[in-house]
C-alpha cells in the first residue's frame, strides 16, 4: 500500500507541490492529471526518491520512500517523462544491466529478460540496438526496464507522450495488465482521454495542490450534485423536454439534435426509475435513456476552474 | 553462452562493475566483428603483436627504457580526460542519469561505475604500450646490457613506473569525473580538465621550478619536482645521475608521499562528484 501524507516540495519561495495526500492499494491504477507545470512530475520524482520532499512523507508498505534507503528503490519502477538510451547497447543488454543493478540473480536474468520482453511485446527486438527502436518501442523498452526487478509500485511519467494512436492503445492495455498483476501504478498525463480507460482512481493536481482524488465516478459525484442523463426519442423531442421540466429534480436541458437531449438530474435511483416510467406512460417514443459516463476532461475543467481563476 | 558472456558473468556482482560488463561486451572481438570473423581477428592481432614485438626486441639496444617511462603518465594526462569527461556530463546530455539515480545504487557507486567503464579502454590501450616497453626491457637483457651501462633495469623501473602511472591515472580520473559532474557538458568538461591538467603537468613546473631553484637550490627543488607525475618517474629512475646523491630512503619517502597525495586528491574528487550527484536529489536536475 502507498500512503502519501502532506507531501510538499518548495524551491525557495516557490511551492511546487503543496501538502499532497492520497493512498493507493495494490492493483489500483491512479491517473494523475494536471496541466503542464501543475506538479505531477515533482510529486512522482519525490515518490521515486529522486527528489527530497521539503515536508511530508510517503510510505510504501509501511516503509518510508527515503532517498538514502537503497533497498526501497527495489520496490519502485520509475519511468521518466523523457529518457535517453545509450548508443552502443542492445535491448537485452540494456535490460541485463538494470537487472544486475537491481540485484536480480545472474541465473535468473535470462528468464526475467525474456518474460518482460514478452510482456511488453518486444521479444522480436531482443538483439536489436536500443537506439534503433521506434519511439513507441523505446517507451515499451523503458517500461520493460522498470519491470525487470518486479517492483511493487510503478511510476510512469507521461508514458504515452509522442506515441501514435496504435502505440498508445498497446500501452494502455499493458498498463491495465500491470494493474491486474497487483501492482500499484501511478500514470501521469495531461492528455485526459488516455487515462480514462484504465484508471481506477484519479488525482487532479493544479498549481501543486491536489484538488480531487478518488474513483472517477465518486469524484464526479462529490463535485457535481447533478448527474447528466441523455435521452433519445424517435420524435416529440421538444415536448418530452417540457414534460421533464415539469418534474422534480430536473434542470438544464441541452439539445444535441431535435430528438436528442441531455438534462441534469439530482434525484435518487428510485426517482430516476419513476421519471422514466412517467415518460413511457405518457407515450413518448424513447429509444435511449441513460446516464452519461463521467468525462475526465469535463471533470478536470470543472475542478481546475476555481484554481485557474 | 559465448566466451565473452562467460567472462562477463564472472565479474563480481558489485555495483561499481555495472558498466564494465557492457564495456567488455562492446570491446570484445565478437561485438566488433558481429561474431563472424572472430578467429580471423584473433589471428590478425597475434600476428601484429609478433611483428611489432620481435622488432622491438631486435632494436632494444638503442632505446633507453628509463626515458620511456615518461610516456605513460603523459599519455594518461591526455587520453583519460577524453574518455572520462563524458561519464557524468554525457548522462546529463543524454538524459539517462535519472534511470541510474532511481536504481538501488549510491551516488558513489554510480561515479565509480561510470569512471571505471571510461578508464578500462584507456588502460587496455596503455597496457599495449606497457607491453612494448616490457619487450624492450627483455630485449636488452637478452642482448647483454647491464644497469650500470646507464640503463636502469626494467625489473626496477617497470614496477615503479606502473604504480606511479596507476596512481596518476586515478588522480586524473577523479579530477575529470568531478569536472564532468559539475559542468553537465561533455565539451566543457573536456576543455576544463585538459586545461587544468596541462597547467599542472607542464605550465606550473615550467614556471615555478626554474624560479624556485634560484631561491631554494637544486636539492630541495629536486625533492619537490619528484612529486610531479612525470618528475617522480625521472627522479626514481635517474636518481643516480643527479648532481647531489640522494639516499634511497629519501627516494622512497618522496614517492610514497607524492603517491599518497595523488591518491587522496583522486578519492576526494570522486567523493565530491558523488556529493554533487546527491545534491541533485535536493535541488532537482534543472537547477
Q: Is the pLDDT score of B207 beyond 60?
A: yes
Of residues B22, B91, B287, nearest to A93 (C-beta)? B22
The whole-angstrom distance between residue B41's C-alpha and the CA centroid of its chain comes to 27
Find the mean pLDDT for residues B35-64: 71
Instruction: Decide if pLDDT at B238 tops 70.
Output: no
Establish if B282 touches chain A: CB-CB under 8 angstroms. Answer: yes
Residue A158, pLDDT > 90, answer no
Instruction: Kindly report the number of other CB atoms within 10 A of residue B15's CB atom.
Output: 20
Query: Percent of chain B scored above 90 by pLDDT?
Result: 13
**Residue A264: its pLDDT value, please?**
86
Poorest-confidence range of A229-233, A270-274, B212-216?
Answer: B212-216
The listed range with the strongest mean pLDDT (A263-267, B166-170, B260-264) is B260-264
Mutant choice from B17, B98, B106, B107 vs A, greatest count of A C-beta within 10 A? B98
- Indicate the pLDDT class of residue A38, thresholds 50, 70 and 90: confident
Q: Which CATH number is A224-298 given?
A: 3.30.70.100
> Do the Cβ atoms of B18 and A52 come within 8 Å?
no
CA distance A235 to A239: 9
Percent of chain A whose predicted confidence (pLDDT) is above 70: 92
- Has residue A24 got a pLDDT over 60? yes
- Whether A270 shows a pLDDT value over 80: the answer reads yes
pLDDT at B35 > cutoff 70: no
Q: What per-residue confidence (pLDDT) applies to B216?
A: 66
Q: Which residue has the cell 426519442?
A: A233
Which of these, B16, B187, B154, lies nearest to B85 by C-alpha position?
A: B187
Q: Give A258→chain B minimum CA distance, Å.
A: 55
Q: Which of A16-25, A172-181, A223-232, B29-38 has the lowest mean pLDDT?
A: B29-38
Give the tens place of pLDDT for each residue, B9-33.
777 766 667 777 776 776 654 444 4
The CATH number that domain A2-219 falls under is 3.40.50.300
Of these ranges, A189-193, A216-220, B174-178, B198-202, the one predicted with the greatest mean pLDDT is B174-178
Tell me which residue in A50, A74, A103 faces B281 most closely, judged by beta carbons. A50
A163-195 tens-digit pLDDT: 777 777 888 888 888 888 899 999 988 766 667
Whether B6 contacts chain A with CB within 8 A: no
Contacts of A45 in chain B (CB under 8 A): 284
| pLDDT higher than threshold 90 for residue B264 | yes
Contact criterion met (CB < 8 Å) for A97 and B21: yes
Average pLDDT over residues A205-228: 79
Partner B contacted by A62 (CB < 8 A): no
Give A277's contacts (C-beta < 8 A, 6+ positions apart).
none
pLDDT at B281 over 70: yes
pLDDT at position A197 = 74
| pLDDT > 90 in chain A, percent | 34
**Integer angstrom CA distances of residue B181 from A49, A174, B84, B120:** 20, 36, 11, 19
All three cell numbers of B106, joined, read 549510491
* A15 CB burial (10 A radius; 0-12, 13-18, 19+): middle
- Give the pLDDT confidence of B51-98 residue by residue, as tens digits: 877 777 777 766 666 666 667 777 788 888 988 898 889 888 888 888
Whether the per-residue pLDDT at B149 is higher than 90: the answer is: no
B105: chain A residues, CB-CB within 8 Å:
70, 101
Q: Where are the domains of chain A?
A: 2-219, 224-298
Distance of residue A262 Cα from the nearest chain B Cα, in angstroms? 48
Higher pLDDT, B37 or B168: B168
Q: Higher confidence at residue B150 or residue A224?
A: A224
CA–CA gap between residue A177 and residue A41 (Å, rounded): 23
* ipTM higher than threshold 0.85: no
Q: Tell me which residue in B93, B96, B106 faces A70 most closely, judged by beta carbons.
A: B106
Specify whether the CB–CB gap between A234 and A287 falls below 8 A: yes
> According to the per-residue pLDDT averaged within each range, which of A243-247, B35-39, B121-125 is highest?
A243-247
What integer pLDDT is reported at residue B1 of this predicted model?
60
Contacts of A83 in chain B (CB under 8 A): 95-96, 98-99
Q: What backbone phi and psi angles, to 5 degrees, belong to B146?
A: -110, 155
Alpha-carbon span A217 to A234, nearest angstrom: 30
Q: What is the mean pLDDT of residues B41-58?
A: 76
Residue A244 CA to residue A251 CA, distance in Å, equals: 9
**Residue at grid coordinates 527528489:** A51
If you average pLDDT over every residue of chain A, what do you get? Answer: 86
Strands (E), A61-200: 63-64, 76-79, 153-157, 184-189
| pLDDT winner (highest mean) among A73-82, A188-197, A293-302 | A73-82
The residue count for chain A: 309
Contact B25 A93 (CB under 8 A): yes
| Of A268-272, B138-142, B173-177, minimum mean pLDDT range | B138-142
- Predicted confidence (pLDDT) per residue in A93-147, tens digit: 899 989 988 988 888 999 999 999 988 888 899 989 988 888 888 888 998 999 9
* pLDDT at res. B150: 46
Tell me: pLDDT of A308 over 50.
no
pLDDT(B36) > 50: no
Which pLDDT tens digit goes with each residue over B166-185? 888 899 999 999 999 999 88
Q: List CB contacts of A267: < 8 A, sequence separation 6 or more.
A: A248, A249, A275
* Strand order through the sheet with A184-189: A63-64, A55-60, A2-11, A14-24, A209-215, A201-206, A29-33, A184-189, A153-157, A76-79
Higher pLDDT, A36 or A99: A99
Beta-bridged to residue A236, according to DSSP, are: none
Residue B209 to residue A169: CA distance in whole angstroms: 70
Amino acid at each position: 500500500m502507498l500512503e502519501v501524507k502532506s507531501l510538499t516540495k518548495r524551491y525557495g519561495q516557490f511551492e511546487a507541490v503543496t501538502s499532497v495526500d492520497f493512498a493507493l492499494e495494490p492493483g489500483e491504477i491512479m491517473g494523475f492529471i494536471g496541466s503542464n507545470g501543475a506538479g505531477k512530475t515533482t510529486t512522482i520524482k519525490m515518490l521515486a526518491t529522486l527528489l527530497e520532499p521539503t515536508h511530508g512523507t510517503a510510505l510504501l508498505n509501511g516503509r518510508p520512500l527515503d532517498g538514502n534507503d537503497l533497498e526501497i528503490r527495489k520496490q519502485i519502477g520509475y519511468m521518466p517523462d523523457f529518457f535517453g538510451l545509450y548508443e552502443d547497447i542492445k535491448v537485452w543488454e540494456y535490460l541485463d544491466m538494470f537487472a544486475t543493478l537491481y540485484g536480480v540473480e545472474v541465473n535468473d536474468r535470462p528468464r526475467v529478460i525474456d518474460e518482460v520482453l514478452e510482456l511488453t511485446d518486444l521479444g522480436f527486438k531482443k538483439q536489436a540496438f536500443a537506439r534503433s527502436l521506434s519511439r513507441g518501442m523505446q517507451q515499451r523498452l523503458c517500461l520493460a526496464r522498470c519491470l525487470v526487478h518486479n517492483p511493487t509500485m510503478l511510476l510512469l511519467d507521461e508514458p504515452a507522450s509522442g506515441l501514435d494512436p496504435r502505440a498508445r492503445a498497446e500501452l494502455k492495455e499493458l498498463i491495465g495488465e500491470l494493474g491486474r498483476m497487483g501492482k500499484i501504478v501511478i500514470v501521469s498525463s495531461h492528455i485526459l482521454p488516455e487515462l480514462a480507460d484504465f484508471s481506477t482512481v484519479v488525482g487532479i493536481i493544479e498549481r501543486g495542490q491536489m484538488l480531487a482524488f478518488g474513483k472517477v465516478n465518486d469524484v464526479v459525484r462529490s463535485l457535481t450534485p447533478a448527474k447528466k442523463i441523455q435521452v433519445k426519442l424517435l420524435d416529440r423531442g421538444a415536448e418530452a423536454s417540457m414534460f421533464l421540466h415539469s418534474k422534480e429534480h430536473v434542470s438544464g436541458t441541452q439539445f444535441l439534435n431535435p430528438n436528442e437531449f441531455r438534462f441534469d438530474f439530482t434525484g435518487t435511483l428510485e426517482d430516476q426509475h419513476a421519471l422514466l416510467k412517467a415518460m413511457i406512460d405518457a407515450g413518448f417514443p424513447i429509444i435511449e435513456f441513460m446516464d452519461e459516463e463521467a468525462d475526465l476532461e469535463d471533470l478536470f475543467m470543472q475542478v481546475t476552474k476555481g484554481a485557474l481563476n | 553462452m559465448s566466451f565473452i558472456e562467460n567472462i562477463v558473468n564472472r565479474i563480481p556482482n558489485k555495483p561499481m562493475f555495472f558498466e564494465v560488463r557492457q564495456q567488455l561486451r562492446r570491446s570484445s572481438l565478437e561485438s566488433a566483428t558481429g561474431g563472424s570473423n572472430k578467429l580471423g581477428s584473433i589471428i590478425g592481432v597475434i600476428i601484429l603483436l609478433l611483428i611489432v614485438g620481435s622488432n622491438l626486441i631486435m632494436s632494444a639496444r638503442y632505446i633507453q627504457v628509463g626515458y620511456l617511462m615518461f610516456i605513460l603518465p603523459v599519455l594518461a594526462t591526455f587520453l583519460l580526460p577524453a574518455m572520462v569527461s563524458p561519464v557524468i556530463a554525457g548522462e546529463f546530455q543524454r538524459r539517462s542519469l535519472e534511470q541510474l539515480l532511481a536504481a538501488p545504487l549510491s551516488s558513489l557507486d554510480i561515479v565509480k561505475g561510470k569512471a571505471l567503464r571510461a578508464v578500462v579502454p584507456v588502460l587496455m590501450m596503455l597496457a599495449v604500450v606497457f607491453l612494448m616497453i616490457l619487450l624492450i626491457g627483455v630485449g636488452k637483457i637478452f642482448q647483454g646490457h647491464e644497469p650500470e651501462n646507464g640503463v636502469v633495469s626494467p625489473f626496477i623501473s617497470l614496477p615503479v613506473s606502473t604504480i606511479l602511472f596507476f596512481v596518476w591515472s586515478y588522480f586524473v580520473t577523479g579530477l575529470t569525473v568531478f569536472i564532468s559532474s559539475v559542468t553537465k557538458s561533455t565539451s566543457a568538461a573536456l576543455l576544463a580538465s585538459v586545461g587544468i591538467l596541462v597547467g599542472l603537468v607542464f605550465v606550473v613546473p615550467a614556471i615555478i621550478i626554474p624560479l624556485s631553484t634560484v631561491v631554494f637550490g637544486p636539492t630541495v627543488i629536486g625533492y619537490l619536482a619528484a612529486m610531479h607525475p612525470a618528475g617522480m618517474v625521472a627522479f626514481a629512475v635517474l636518481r643516480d645521475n643527479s648532481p647531489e646523491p640522494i639516499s634511497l630512503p629519501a627516494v622512497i619517502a618522496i614517492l610514497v608521499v607524492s603517491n599518497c597525495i595523488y591518491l587522496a586528491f583522486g578519492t576526494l574528487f570522486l567523493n565530491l562528484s558523488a556529493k554533487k550527484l546527491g545534491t541533485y536529489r535536493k535541488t532537482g536536475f534543472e537547477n
